[in-house]
Structures are given as C-alpha cells and as structure tokens.
C-alpha cells in the first residue's frame, strides 16, 4: 500500500507556468514509490525553511573509492528518528554514459527496469552536469545491488570526489556534419588510460576531460573542463555552392547581409561581384547566381562557427582538420569562472599516433596537476597561481603566439625574456618542419 501523499504547497507552485515541471514527475513516481513521497516531504520542508537538510557520509561499492554520492537526511524528531524515513538515505549512483551518449531504446528500457527492480527511487537524470547518468535515490543496503545490475549491463561507475570525473563527448561524427575528429575514440582512449584516477580518488581536486567535435563546443568543454579537446580546421571553409544558393533563394539578400555577413566577428566575409573574385589558398567563394558572390577571407576567420551554423551544409569546416587543446576551464570556486586557455593551437587527430599523442598529453597534464596543485584547487586556479609560462615549461610545451589573441594585453606573458622566447619558438618551428 502506497504511503499517503504529503501536502506540498510550495512545490506545487513550481508546476505553474508553461514549462514541464520536475514536481509533476516526482508526483507520478510517488504514486508507486514511498521513497518519493518522503522525498517530497523533505524537499517541501527545505522550501519552507529555505535550508537544505542533506548531509554526506561514506557509502561505496566493492573495489571502488568513488562514484557514489552519499546523502543522509538531517530532518529528525526529538528521538533522532527521521521525519521522512523512506527518504532518510537517498544516495546517488554516478554511472558513466557511453561516448557521444548513444543508446538504443531497448537499453534505456532495460536501465529503467534495473533501477526500479534494485530499490531505486525511479529518478534518473540524463545527464548530470558532469555528463553522468545520475541514478538518484538509493538506500545504503541497495547500492551494491544496483551497481552490480548496471555493471552486468556493461556500465561502469563515473567519478565523484577529488578524482578524474566522468567525461563527455558530443554526439559528434555519428550525426553532425561539423565534426572535425573522432570524439568518441578520443574519449575512450583517454578515459580508459586514466580510469584508475576515476575510481580511486587521489587527486588534489576534481579533474575533467571533455571532447567537442567542432568550435560550437556542444559539451561546453571550454567552460566546464580542465582539459578541453575541441575540433577545428586550419585550411579554408569548404563551400557547397548549390546549398548556399538554396539558402539565398529561400532567405534573400536582407537575411544574407544581416544574419551572415554582418554577424562575422572579424569581418572575414564580404559580398563582392562574382566576376571580380576567384577562390584561392586563403579565399573561399560561393557564387550566389545573381552576379554576386560570398567571399570568405580565411586568414581572418576565427572559427566562430556562426556562418556555418546559419548556412548548414552550404559552408562547412575545411579538409585539414584537427583539434585545439585548452586547459583550465571551470566554474566559480576561488578565482571566479574561467574559460580554458589554449595550450596546443592545432594538432592533427587522425592516425593512431595522433591519438596516442593526445593520450600522453592528457596523462602528463593529470600528473602535473597531481604534483603541483594545492588541496581543493582546480587546474585553472593552479595555472593562475604558478603562471601559464611555468605550466607550459613544466609540460615541455613551447610557447606559441597562436595561444593568445591579444599578446600585449595578456598578463600571463612577460616581455623581458621575449627575445629568448622568439628564439625558442624559431627552434621549435624548425624542428617541427
């Protein structure tokens, strides 16, 4: 017999308005699961008192040091009995999703069944901020059972605590024409190589890898990861003239000028007379069929993706594809939110050797972080403290002018050893040639 629903006037407010509400979902689950009835009671109390009533603890599964987020209620009566006993233990299992987050519908059904049959609350977040499949609401006694069931299906725990965290790659080449490298492969290689740091937390703080196939950066790698690998290209934007003309026919000159040409941040796109321009090593041209042509000066393109997004299929990433690597993105913490800083402006990512280089770099960056970061300090904060130049030197990465867009305004670089840096850069270019 299901528990009687608790009055939740504050939560009910969240069902008003045009958007679907999580409260409606909770109520649906609560019809069949007493844990959700008590969870709503606890949450309603929090809304009334404007205070959270969860505390952490230590809960895990055999062989793993992380991956479970323990939550115990603090709402107790005078005899220390929980006010909402069914939700007194409400732990979360972080499960690592497949690269690119591809599932079959059968697998999704199987996951839902497994969660309900092993004592779960029924609540699943696809996917949490770190990319995990979050199975939320499990009692201590059921944690091992639930994990074993998911493990039998081929899933592994993700990261929690001061550890390598669950990774994310965008949907990528499987469904997106902008993809510039095999994101899923890169994710699997890097994560499999560093899995020990995910399951046995031993780092100063959390560390995240994320992989986006193009500069649209659909997994927000630049803001949300300590090491972001983002696809890019270094030759000309490719043009499919017929599709550019289709866009032009459907939208007209006004949209082309206002939505494409004038939105280019570096004014790399211009409208010219078709007979006055030819495509070259650095210039892409799309004739519009009315005597005009769209002309892209690729040397000035900063790969912002705007024109490619507005004319999908008509303008596409170039053929010489690879990745840019950035480090130090993170949320607020000690020094405010930071975006990743470029440390490798361009690197090919096609052959097995290329992927191995990425793998090696990722391990070196984790090792450097493990040895040099202070407790509770993210990579971005460590770099801010020790200086980017020292970080690059520690990793033996040559300083490259392409790392920064405004060298004179960038506080990371000092001018007093500039000549020396220029010499180093010239040597690096010669050895790379």
Q: Restricting to residues 387-426, name those near ligand SF4 by CB under 6 A.
A: none
Sorted by sequence, the CB contacts under 8 Å of residue 149 that are 6+ apart come out as 114, 117, 118
**Residue of 167, 291, 290, 286 lying closest to 229 (CA atoms):** 167
Question: Cβ 300 to ligand SF4, closest distance in Å?
Answer: 7
Q: Residue 342 or residue 397: which is nearer to ligand SF4 going by CB? A: 342
Question: Cβ 36 to ligand SF4, closest distance in Å?
Answer: 47
| Angle value at C-alpha 97, between 92 and 98, nearest 5 degrees | 165
Query: Is 225 within 8 Å of 328 (Cβ atoms)?
Result: no
Distance CA 391, CA 72 (A): 40
Question: Cβ 262 to ligand SF4, closest distance in Å?
Answer: 10
**Residue of 164, 169, 34 lying closest to 90 (CA atoms):** 34
Q: Residue 15 or residue 259: which is nearer to ligand SF4 going by CB? A: 259
Question: Cβ 179 to ligand SF4, closest distance in Å?
Answer: 16
Task: Tell me the three state secondary structure of residue 73.
Answer: strand
Count of chain residues binding ligand SF4 (CB under 6 A): 14
Q: Which of 36, 138, 146, 264 binds ligand SF4 (CB under 6 A)?
A: 264
Q: Residue 27 or residue 303: which is nearer to ligand SF4 going by CB? A: 303
Question: Cβ 316 to ligand SF4, closest distance in Å?
Answer: 11
Q: Which residue is nearest to ligand SF4 (CB)?
A: 301
Select from 101-109, 132-140, 260-268, 320-328 the region that touches ligand SF4 (CB under 6 A): 260-268
Distance CA 188, CA 168 (A): 10
Query: Is 46 within 8 Å of 87 (Cβ atoms)?
Result: no
Q: Restricting to residues 265-324, name those near ligand SF4 by CB under 6 A.
A: 265-266, 268-269, 296, 301-308
Question: Cβ 290 to ligand SF4, closest distance in Å?
Answer: 21
**DSSP H helical segments within 319-417, as ranges?**
352-372, 379-386, 388-394
Q: Restricting to residues 135-154, name those near ligand SF4 by CB under 6 A.
A: none
Q: Residue 40 or residue 269: which is nearer to ligand SF4 going by CB? A: 269
Query: Is 59 within 8 Å of 68 (Cβ atoms)?
Result: yes
Q: What is the DSSP letter of 369?
A: H
Q: Residue 125 or residue 304: which is nearer to ligand SF4 going by CB? A: 304
Q: Residue 123 or residue 296: which is nearer to ligand SF4 going by CB? A: 296
Q: Provide the β-strand partners of residue 330.
A: 338
Query: Is 198 within 8 Å of 163 (Cβ atoms)?
Result: yes
Give the footprint of ligand SF4 on this chain (CB under 6 A): 264-266, 268-269, 296, 301-308
């Amino acid at each position: 017999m299901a528990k009687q629903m608790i009055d939740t006037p504050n939560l009910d407010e969240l069902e008003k308005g045009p958007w679907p509400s999580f409260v409606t979902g909770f109520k649906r689950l609560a019809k069949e699961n007493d844990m959700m009835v008590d969870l709503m009671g606890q949450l309603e109390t929090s809304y009334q008192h404007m205070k959270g009533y969860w505390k952490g603890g230590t809960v895990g599964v055999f062989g793993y040091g992380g991956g479970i987020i323990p939550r115990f209620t603090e709402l107790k009566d005078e005899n220390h009995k929980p006010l909402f006993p069914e939700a007194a233990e409400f732990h979360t299992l972080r499960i690592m999703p497949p690269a690119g987050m591809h599932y079959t519908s059968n697998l999704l059904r199987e996951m839902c069944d497994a969660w309900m049959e092993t004592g779960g609350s029924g609540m699943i977040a696809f996917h949490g901020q770190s990319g995990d499949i979050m199975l939320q609401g499990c009692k201590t006694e059921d944690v091992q059972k639930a994990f074993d069931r998911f493990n039998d299906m081929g899933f592994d725990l993700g990261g929690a605590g001061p550890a390598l965290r669950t990774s994310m790659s965008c949907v990528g080449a499987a469904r997106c024409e902008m993809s510039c490298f095999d994101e899923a492969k890169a994710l699997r290689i890097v994560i499999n190589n560093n899995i020990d740091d995910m399951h046995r937390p031993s780092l100063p703080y959390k560390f995240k890898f994320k992989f986006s196939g193009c500069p649209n950066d659909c997994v927000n790698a630049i803001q949300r990861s300590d090491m972001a690998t983002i696809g890019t290209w270094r030759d000309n934007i490719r043009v499919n003239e017929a599709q550019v003309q289709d866009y032009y026919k459907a939208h007209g000159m006004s949209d082309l000028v206002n939505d494409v040409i004038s939105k280019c941040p570096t004014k790399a796109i211009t409208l010219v007379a078709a007979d006055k321009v030819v495509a070259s090593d650095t210039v892409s041209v799309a004739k519009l069929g009315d005597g005009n042509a769209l002309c892209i000066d690729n040397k000035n393109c900063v790969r912002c993706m705007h024109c490619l997004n507005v004319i999908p299929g008509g303008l596409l990433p170039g053929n010489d594809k690879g990745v840019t690597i950035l480090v130090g993105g993170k949320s607020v913490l000690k020094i405010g939110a930071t975006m990743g800083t470029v440390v490798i402006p361009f690197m090919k990512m096609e052959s097995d050797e290329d992927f191995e280089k990425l793998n090696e770099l990722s391990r070196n960056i984790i090792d450097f972080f493990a040895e040099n970061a202070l407790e509770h300090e993210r990579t971005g904060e460590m770099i801010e403290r020790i200086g980017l130049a020292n970080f690059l030197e520690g990793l033996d990465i040559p300083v490259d002018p392409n790392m920064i867009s405004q060298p004179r305004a960038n506080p990371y670089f000092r001018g007093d050893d500039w000549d020396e840096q220029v010499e180093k850069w010239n040597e690096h270019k010669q050895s790379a040639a």
